[in-house]
Each structure stands twice: as C-alpha cells, then as structure tokens.
C-alpha cells in the first residue's frame, strides 16, 4: 500500500449549478444530482488512485444505506475499504452541496458517524508496508484529540512513513494553535487553506501564517492553499508562491483534496519542491472541471502533460 488515508467519510450529494436559489415554496428543476463517497479521506484516496497509487481508507460510517453506498463506492474506485468501521449509534455523515453560478458553494452537513470515530478504531498493523499516512478532516472528529494524532504520527514516522495533516474548520469547530502544536512536530506536510490558517494563527497574510506554523516545526512543509488565487509553500527558509492554473471551472468541491493528492505524489516521488507545487496545482485545478470531488481530476499522464504544456506563475523567495 502506498498511502493510508484516514479521516472523515461522507455521503456527498451535489446539485448541478443553478442561476439562483429558489424562493420559499418554489420548485426549481436541476440538470442532475450526483451522489458519491466524499469527505477528505475518500476524496484524497480517490485522487491518489487516479494518479496511480495503491490506497486504503480508514474511517467510520453508519450501519445504514448511505454507509453501504460509501463502502461500495470506495471499492468501485479501487480503494481498499476493509478498515472502514460501522457505527452502532450514528448515521453516515452526509453533506448536501448547493452550487449557485458565480457564488461559493453552500453546504448542509450532518456530522454522523465521524463524531463516533476515534483512533482506537485503528489497527496499527495497517501502517506496515505503507509509504505515507494522510489524516484529513482533523478537528471535525470530536473523538480525535491532538495528543492521539501526535502519538499516531510519531509511530508512523518511526516506521518510516511520511505524515500528512489536513484540517477542516467549520461552523462550531473550535480553532486555535493548540490543536496543531502537539501534532506538527510529528508532521511532514501540513495542508490548511488560508481561512483555516487564519483561524489557527490569527494572521491574514499566508506568508505570516506559514511563519507562525513553521516555528512549531521548521522541517515541516507548510502548504497553504487559496483556491483560484493559488498557494504558498514553505519548507525551512524556502518560500514558493504560485498562482492558480486557469481551467474551465464547473465545481470547486474537492480541489483542496486533489491538491493534497498531487503534493503527496510529489513527495513520494522525491521531486523538488517547485516541481511538486506545479504538479499539485495542476491536479487541484483539474478537479474543478466536473461536478463532484473527483470526476474531473487528471490521471497521472494527463497531469504530467498539462504541467509540461502550461506555465505556472511562481515566485521563489526566502
């Protein structure tokens, strides 16, 4: 197994883009709905599969029809779902995503079985033979504490795995630097977006956000994404700023997870930081070309060809 993707699992239902929200009592006809396995763990795993990696998912769903669908959808994508657990108390997490043309997405979310997940659900033998451990949706799983993650990441690093941390900070989610301070010393790659980095550090400038986070672990690669505005990456004293690739965008859902999959691929391949950022940016941009979190994502040969044919504006500093 190349990568273990641990974290939130969700049954995602996407509405195709509409011109405006319906008024109270109004029926609006859509072109289509899309139901897919989602959440950071599933999305990143699916993108890694499209990039040619062998992947397993660890998480929790409900003992219900949505849970059965999530497991079957993961299997359909060629992802090992044998470590997905069933909650006896909570339904499968579900999100309804509303796309209005020209506006950011709107979400209705049920936390479900992700609230019932803890690191006690993980068999550490799953780490054997893997090259990387990704945790996605951290801070949206109340049963997972910073000290739990620090111990898990420490164990993974002792076994030679690359450790990757991705957070989700939403409504009602407490956010402070204390949530990542115990974890970052055991983290090789940290992937917040600029809003999440602001919530953690109190800073609005991505360079300042990265500086605050790098003080905790200077050797951790900090990659702060900003959607269409690109990304900033800091590793030790090296800082790269990249604009976003321009593609015909339909739905930006999952672009951050696709970026994560691209960046993990570059780290596994031991590419230079600049090459890794170009590749991750291309994979992230490709995600937005179709409805849902994974259908538009490049396969490996497509991503390599896109990077070779399209120049990414990038500045390199210290």
Domain ranges of the chain: 3-18+33-317
Please give the model's pTM, rounded to 2 decimal places: 0.93
HSE value, Cβ hemisphere, 13 Å, CA-based, for 19: 3
Q: DSSP readout, 240-256?
A: EEEPPPP---S--TTHH
CATH number for the region 3-18+33-317 comes to: 3.40.1190.20
Residue 133 token pair: 């451990």
Residue 89 token pair: 């108390």
The radius of gyration computed from the CA coordinates of the chain, to the nearest angstrom, equals 18
Q: Listing from the earlier edge strand, what are the strands of the sheet with 80-87?
A: 80-87, 55-62, 3-7, 132-138, 162-167, 189-190, 221-225, 231-235, 238-242, 314-317
Report the SS3 class of residue 113: helix
Question: Which of 196, 281, 221 lies closest to 245 in space, CA to CA?
Answer: 281
CA distance 170 to 175: 9
Look at residue 10 in the predicted model and tell me its pLDDT.
Answer: 96
In sign, the C-alpha dihedral spanning 74, 7, 142, 280 is negative
Tens-binned pLDDT, residue by residue, of the chain (318 aa): 899 999 999 999 988 889 999 999 999 888 889 899 999 999 999 999 999 999 999 999 999 999 999 999 999 999 999 999 999 999 999 999 898 888 888 889 999 999 999 988 888 888 998 999 999 999 999 999 999 999 999 999 999 999 999 999 876 677 889 999 999 999 999 999 999 999 999 999 999 999 999 999 999 999 999 988 999 999 998 999 999 898 888 878 889 999 999 999 999 999 999 999 999 999 999 999 888 778 889 999 999 999 999 989 888 876
Look at residue 195 in the predicted model and tell me its pLDDT.
Answer: 93
HSE value, Cβ hemisphere, 13 Å, CA-based, for 283: 33
Look at residue 228 in the predicted model and tell me its pLDDT.
Answer: 85
Per the listing, tokens 């993650």 go with: 149
Look at residue 318 in the predicted model and tell me its pLDDT.
Answer: 62
């Amino acid at each position: 197994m190349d990568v273990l993707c641990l974290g939130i699992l969700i049954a995602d239902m996407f509405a195709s883009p509409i011109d405006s929200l319906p008024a109270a009592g109004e029926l609006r006809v859509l072109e289509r709905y899309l139901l897919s396995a989602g959440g950071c763990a599933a999305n990143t795993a699916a993108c890694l599969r499209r990039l040619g990696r062998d992947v397993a998912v660890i998480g929790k769903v409900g003992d219900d029809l949505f849970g059965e669908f999530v497991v079957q959808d993961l299997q359909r994508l060629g992802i090992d779902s044998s470590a997905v657990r069933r909650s006896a108390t909570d339904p499968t997490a579900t999100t309804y995503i509303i796309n209005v043309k020209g506006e950011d997405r709107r979400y209705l979310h049920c936390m479900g079985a992700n609230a019932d997940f803890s690191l006690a659900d993980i068999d550490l033998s799953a780490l054997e033979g893997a090259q990387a451990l990704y945790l996605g949706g951290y801070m949206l799983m109340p049963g997972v504490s910073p000290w739990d993650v620090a111990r898990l990441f420490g164990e993974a690093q002792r076994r030679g795995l690359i450790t990757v941390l991705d957070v989700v900070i939403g409504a009602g989610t407490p956010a402070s630097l204390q949530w990542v301070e115990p974890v970052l010393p055991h983290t090789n790659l940290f992937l917040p977006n600029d809003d999440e980095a602001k919530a953690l550090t109190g800073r609005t400038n991505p360079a300042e956000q990265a500086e605050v986070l790098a003080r905790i672990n200077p050797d951790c690669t900090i990659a702060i994404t900003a959607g269409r505005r690109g990304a900033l990456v800091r590793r030790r004293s090296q800082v790269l700023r990249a604009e976003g690739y321009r593609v015909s965008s339909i739905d930006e859902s999952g672009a951050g997870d696709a970026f994560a999959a691209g960046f993990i691929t570059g780290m596994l391949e031991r590419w230079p930081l600049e090459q890794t950022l170009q590749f991750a940016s291309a994979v992230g941009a490709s995600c937005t070309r179709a409805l849902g979190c994974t259908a538009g994502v490049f396969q490996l040969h497509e991503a390599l060809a896109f990077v070779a044919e399209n120049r990414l504006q990038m500045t390199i500093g210290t």
